[in-house]
Amino acid sequence: MTALPLCDCPRSLHFHGTRDMYSYHRCRCARCTDANTAYYQATAHLTRRHEWSPAEPARRRLALLRESGLSIPAIAALCNVAPSQLRYLIRGPKGRVVQRVRRSMLEALNAVSYQDVSAAQLPPGTYVDGAPSMRQLQSLSAAGWSMAALARKTGVSKGTLISVINGGGTRESTRIRIADAHKTMHALAPASGSSHERSAVGAARARAAANGWTVYEDEDFSYRADNEEEAA
């Protein structure tokens, strides 16, 4: 076997003719280029079978779940992967950014639902992702519930509800109140006995229509995949 020539890199001792030299040390000599080409030829079947996916959507998904209050071990348990795999996704070898992950990992992260997150026992003051609460409020607005009516039903200030419905984060205690309100209110029609109430209902529906909000028929407010084309 022919010995590989040494690299003159001042940082550490390396050999030419390896993919590591091509990828990490950016050597573009013929030997290292051939080694890199051979690697991709050997793994091309995995890409063709869609067993690999870009890492960035998985990284965004993981960040979303962590913002919701779930720890790395909790997410790993839900995804049936090792916590070290998720930490590797956040921070690759020597701090480098991981470029791709197994498709199964992305699918597992996307499969973690709102119910999984809401089942976690979080302190009431924990700052959580507001996406599920946002969708619930938007659904109720599309059904004709005004912010004032929702504030009375939830016990949450109108200003906080407006922030959440427009995409802001929220606290766990607020998330629970909004979820409970949606559970009881999504099948009910808002009061419309007086002209003031009818005006409020009309304004809520008009605002929802202008923003493209719709009434959701079920209660599974799952987190949407960050890259639906990849998950298809």
* Phi, psi (deg, nearest 5) at residue 37: -60, -40
* Residues 6+ away with beta carbon under 8 Å from 117: 65, 68, 69, 70, 128, 129, 132, 223
Low-confidence winner among 15-24, 25-34, 57-66, 220-229 (lowest mean pLDDT):
220-229
At 107, the amino acid letter reads E
**pLDDT value, residue 127:** 73
* Residues 6+ away with beta carbon under 8 Å from 99: 54, 55
Buried b or exposed e, range 44-82, using 16+ CB within 10 angstroms = eeeeeeeebbebebbbebbebbbebbbebebbbebbebe
When pLDDT is cut at 50, 70 and 90, the band that residue 44 belongs to is low
Handedness of CA 26, 57, 70, 73 (dihedral sign): negative
For residues 141-161, give the mean pLDDT: 93
CATH placement of domain 52-112? 1.10.260
Does residue 209 carry a pLDDT above 80?
A: yes
Domain ranges of the chain: 19-48, 52-112, 127-211
- DSSP tag of 95: G
At 47, the amino acid letter reads T
**pLDDT value, residue 10:** 54
Does residue 19 carry a pLDDT above 80?
A: no
Percent of the chain exceeding pLDDT 70 equals 74
Low-confidence winner among 9-18, 129-138, 178-187 (lowest mean pLDDT):
9-18
Which range has highest mean pLDDT (21-30, 169-178, 185-194, 206-215)? 206-215
When pLDDT is cut at 50, 70 and 90, the band that residue 201 belongs to is very high
Does residue 58 carry a pLDDT above 80?
A: yes
Contact present, 99 and 55 (Cβ < 8 Å): yes
